[in-house]
Amino acid sequence: MSACRPLDLFLLMACALSLHAAAGPESIPEAEALAPPSRARLAALANAGAKGDWTGVDAVALGAANSAYARDRLNAAEGWFYVHRWAALFAENEAHFVLRWVPAVEQAKVAHENMTRSYSSTDRRLAEFLSPELQRWLLENAAFSDEFFSLLSPVDYVPRVFGLLNEIYQWDSSRFKEYASLALAIAVVYDLPPPPDWPHAQVSAAALPRRWPRASEAFAWWVREDRAGHTYQRL
């Protein structure tokens, strides 16, 4: 066998590296899948997703969830399943989301005249509405994941929900983590404009404009009120 020339060796290594990169995240070993996802594994999956492979993360997380469920490890299966749900949502592009969101709004009969007449149909992935830091935090928080997916409805405009969560997180990440449920409540309400009869139908829109304050400003106000003891219950 003849010796490999330096250029040949370089091309061979480049090809091998490109194939490895295209392979995406490695499958989760069955022994690991039988326990809830570790922080180290979640960090690795978040890193893979941040590099553009949320579809690969989705596949390996769903595989791990199925393995855990088959062995009756329900707590582990739930943890992996949440990772799958986040990754599937992050991998979806805005155009595909709009195609399923518009019929849901029409079927629920919740459209109103203050809503935009047309919505973006770009190929922007939904993950791009969130910072990598917030993506990772979402993956690592099973309690918030449970709350998010329990609360989210087919008529919530997820690109805007993500954008508002990201706005609040960027404003103050520590307060966001402390009041994550409040941030979520604001995001799923402020994702669309208020209806024409909000908050008082008898008052004209000229006297009381139908628009929300900035999400971060509303969040800051509620946090201040809560810390001052002015709310009826702790937020």
Distance (Å) of CA 56 to CA 14, 83, 192: 22, 12, 31
Q: Is residue 96 part of a domain?
A: yes
Which of 91, 119, 137 finishes a domain? 91
CA-CA distance, 183 to 152, in Å (whole number)?
Answer: 13
Residues 86 and 98 in one domain: no
Q: Is residue 12 part of a domain?
A: no
pLDDT at 140 over 50: yes
Residues 162 and 206 in one domain: yes
Residues 145 and 46 in one domain: no
Q: Is residue 229 part of a domain?
A: yes
Q: Is residue 14 part of a domain?
A: no
Neighbours of 42 (CB within 10 A): 21
Q: What percent of the chain has pLDDT over 70?
A: 90
Q: What string of DSSP letters covers 113-154?
A: TTS-SS------BGGGGS-HHHHHHHHH-HHHHHHHHHH--T
Residues 100 and 200 in one domain: yes
Residues 120 and 235 in one domain: yes
Q: Is residue 173 part of a domain?
A: yes
CA-CA distance, 13 to 9, in Å (whole number)?
Answer: 6
Residues 84 and 114 in one domain: no
Average per-residue pLDDT in the chain?
89
**Residue 210, pLDDT score:** 73
Smallest CA-to-CA distance from 183 within 231, 153, 210, 151 is with 151
**Residue 16, pLDDT score:** 39
**Domain count along the chain:** 2
DSSP character for 203?
A: S
CA-CA distance, 193 to 180, in Å (whole number)?
Answer: 22
pLDDT band at 144 (very low <50, low <70, confident <90, very high): very high
**Residues 6 or more apart in contact with residue 180 via CB below 8 angstroms:** 141, 144, 147
Which of 91, 113, 129 finishes a domain? 91
Residues 222 and 166 in one domain: yes
Interval 30-58: pLDDT, tens: 999 999 999 999 999 999 999 999 999 99
Which of 62, 91, 120 finishes a domain? 91
- Interval 102-126 mean pLDDT: 90
Amino acid letter at 198?
W
Residue 52, by phi and psi: left (phi above 0), alpha (psi -120 to 50) or beta?
A: left
Q: The whole model's pTM is what?
A: 0.86
Domain boundaries, position 104: 92-235
